[in-house]
Structure 1
Amino acid sequence: MWCMTRIRPAVALASIAGASLLFLAACTQDASSTGGTESAAPSTSGEAPAAEAPVNGVDAKEYAAGDPETDSYGFVTPSGKWLCAIIPTKKLAGCASHPTAGPLGVPGTPQIASPDGGPPAEANVIAVEAGKEPSFQNWNQAPFPGNAHVLPYDTTLAIDGFSCNVQFSGVSCREDATDKGFTISTSGYKFEYTPIPVSLPSAIPPPIAPTPAPLPQQARGSNQCGPIVYPETGKPATVVIVKGTLRCDEAHTMLTKYFAAPDKSEPVYSFDGWECRLAGDPGSAEIGYTINCTDGNGNTVVAQP
């Protein structure tokens, strides 16, 4: 914008300062009123920014330990490879190998001190603690007691300042306040949280067909899922989808509910449209019975020691 001030010659020298002030007053405008690119000054409010909602968050209560004295929330990945837990009393989130809770067995895992004072051994837990850098640790117990539920792919478990998610690329946990965390898979690890990708919404989002998690194939076309643990013996059972279109996480959820049933010791137990049968000899009491479950949709799931 151009601004001009006519000044009579007779008073030009006397009024030059005043004319300059008038020129500035007439030409100066706030950028926001002219559509300029400058932004307003940031707010000086002392309030902390609101925490971001977890992407595809699940109900944390569904993943709480069955023992009320154990303040922890845990899950097994759909592959059955990892058991992870958020433990508020320890201000920690971590993952261990499942079901043995032995060494992590991924490339680059270091040898560190044993919890009982023995010689260094390969780490069996990767974790992030409040206010600390993520690290490898050695524990003499599993991160989560009992049978944990399966956390489906592309969902997040968040509780007490920590978040964990599962993706096809691996499992990842962090401390929300610092965003420090880790990601681990069978192919390796990194001390960095991997968020679930979020697409920007469009005016009319196109419909997206659900894609079930891929299942590893066995001989004869059956699908082998990750193992589950017999509560009575603590021994792993191999879970196989013999027939049908069931996903691994659905098979694990069904078997976990079966194990929690108070009267499952009967030879045949029916629940939620499923009928499960026990098979085995007297020695099975020590290693776990074979469980054969079928439903009305043509699905057959077997868990065997």
Structure 2
Amino acid sequence: MSIEQDRARGAGAGWKRFGSNRAVVAVAATLTVLLTGCSAGNSDTATAPTATSTQVPAAPAAAATPGKSAKPADTAEYRQDDDGFGRAGYFFTSPSGAFSCAIFDASVSAYGTPVGAACQGRAATPAGAEDCAKSEGLQAPVPGLGVGPSGTTFFCNVGSPLFTTTSTVLPYDSSLTVNGYTCHSAQSGVSCQENRNGKGFRVSRESSALTLDGAQRPGASVTVPDVRGERPAAAENLLTNAGLTAKIMGGTGRGPRGGQCVVAEQEPVAGTKVATGALITLTTREIGYESGIC
């Protein structure tokens, strides 16, 4: 469901969005929610001065090290099939209660920018972006940051806050990896990245950013599991649960001779130490045959 569809659900509101390489200002006559959830008590109710659009530089944030001992979270604990607005995904809150976040099954359209992972709450404004300005007669907008295949975005959401109030807490020094994204919870804030392109954001009360440097990436080291002999869907699930991203080469159903397609080769090989979110290429073969892609 897109933001444009959400607008039809509620009262008038204003919205601004800033990308890491560009600035976009969109003023909507009606808007309820970008997503759903996070209680209004977590919103920053301070009134900010009205600002015009500005170019956002791709500047790194202040140092924040997730730590190499990050514990992978059990994705099942964060699963929600419907957030109240027809969106499915994995929802969590920071231990401080300052931020509500989500990794979605399908990207949400943020006025043309696909967002697969996002956080909203008492966020500091990223360098180069404008503070969220309160319009007369409306509640204070709640800052948020998101990331998708095309990059990161900063937005000011007016109306109901973003995510669900029933989200599970993601403990400090824990990472949630699913659907090609990784979010890491630390005392310094929450960082999320799109694992294929490495783009991401970090959100905190003191310092937020639309870019991540090497020390801020959620990628703790993990060991590649052996998924040879598994059916493609099962192999992909095993890699996802290990915090990795799968790329399947070949068929995923049955081969030309009628046999089931299974994973015959993987690169990197099992036992290799790689960063969380690393891409693992799986080549399938028809079971019972040694040659030819399935």
Q: Name the structure with the higher helix share.
A: 1
TM-score by length of 2: 0.40
Q: Name the structure with the higher strand share.
A: 2
